Amino acid sequence: MPDLQELLSVATEAAARAARLLVDERPPDLGVAATKSSPTDPVTEMDRASERLVVETVLARRPGDGFFGEEGADRAGTSGVVWVIDPIDGTVNYLYDHPFWAVSVAAEVEGEAVVGVVAAPAVGETFWAVRGGGAHLSSDAGSRPLQVNSGVALDRALVGTGFGYAAERRARQGAVVAQLLPRVRDIRRGGSAAYDLCSLAAGRLDAYYERGVQRWDTAAGALVAREAGAVVGGVRGAAASPELTVAAAPGLFDDLAALLAELGADRD
């Protein structure tokens, strides 16, 4: 097993450099460079520049590592460590200068995240976790450990979620939300899966679920949530995946996952 403190130091440096770039070099005329799953699913030049900077920062310290990034970074490496990168999670928020966006950097060993850093510079927060070492939030106020809310019943839960960008998927997700809304306290759609998972870890949400999130969206945030005491999984006993990712404290997780399965939230 590699030195996890070294991986944390690399992840923190890479996420911080990318976060600074995204804030300091954000062009006034930031436009959409390309679209992905639909015409409303944007990629900006800043997404690409951020991913390049994360990769360059890691390689300068760990030349044998592999990468898997949203904007195309893809190499196996030779060290057994693979960096999973979302250079801007919440690109629509970044485009609109809405503060809930983050740089998400996770180090995986044998397909499992061992270190995760989620830097959200527009709100001055960096969330981080090392497997087995708890989850933490660093900000101007200092650094503090995180713990999910426990003992919250489903009908009192504040639930975060998100939506894909393709019209058919969205219509289905809207139908699920319509049935969920009367059964919970309320719903939030923050616009960044990584930040949502960290919000859960910080007790700002009681639960989170989403269909369609990819490995780069959730790798770091799911480790932060788990290390803060959340269960992160799928429904019907499945692991968390693009089919459906659900996260909440034990107990609430079971109740929410059962309801989401009943509502077919893992199906189009």
Please count the other Cβ atoms lying within 10 Å of the Cβ belonging to residue 35.
12
Q: To the nearest whole angstrom, how small is the minimum distance from the Cβ of residue 64 to ligand IPD?
A: 27
Residue numbers of the site for ligand IPD (CB under 6 A)? 70, 86, 89-91, 162-164, 191-193, 210, 212-213, 217
238 burial (CB, 10 Å; 0-12 / 13-18 / 19+) is: middle
- Strand locations in 47-145 (E): 66-69, 74-75, 81-89, 102-109, 112-120, 125-130, 135-139, 142-145
Whichever of 62 and 180 has its CB closer to ligand IPD, that residue is 180
Toward ligand IPD, which CB reaches closer, 184 or 197?
197
Backbone angles phi, psi at 144, to 5 degrees: -140, 150
Per DSSP, what are the bridge partners of residue 130? 115
CA angle 149, 155, 159 (to 5 degrees): 55
CA nearest neighbour of 148 among 227, 260, 255, 244: 227
State in angstroms the smallest separation of the CB of 68 from ligand IPD. Answer: 14
Question: Among residues 1 and 178, whose Cβ is nearest to ligand IPD?
Answer: 178
Smallest distance from ligand IPD to CB 207, Å:
15
Nearer to ligand IPD, 130 or 213 (CB): 213
Of all residues in the shown chain, the one whose CB is closest to ligand IPD is 162
Minimal distance in Å, beta carbon 86 to ligand IPD?
5
Cα dihedral 124→15→204→237 (10° resolution): 180
Query: Quick one: 100 or 128, whose CB is closer to ligand IPD?
Result: 100
Q: Cβ(87)–Cβ(118) under 8 Å?
A: no
As measured in angstroms, the least distance from the Cβ of 141 to ligand IPD is 25
The residue (of 11 and 88) whose beta carbon lies closer to ligand IPD is: 88
Task: Report the DSSP beta bridge partners of residue 212.
Answer: none
Q: How far apart are CA 55 and CA 47, in angstroms?
A: 13
Least spacing, CB of residue 88 vs ligand IPD, in Å: 6
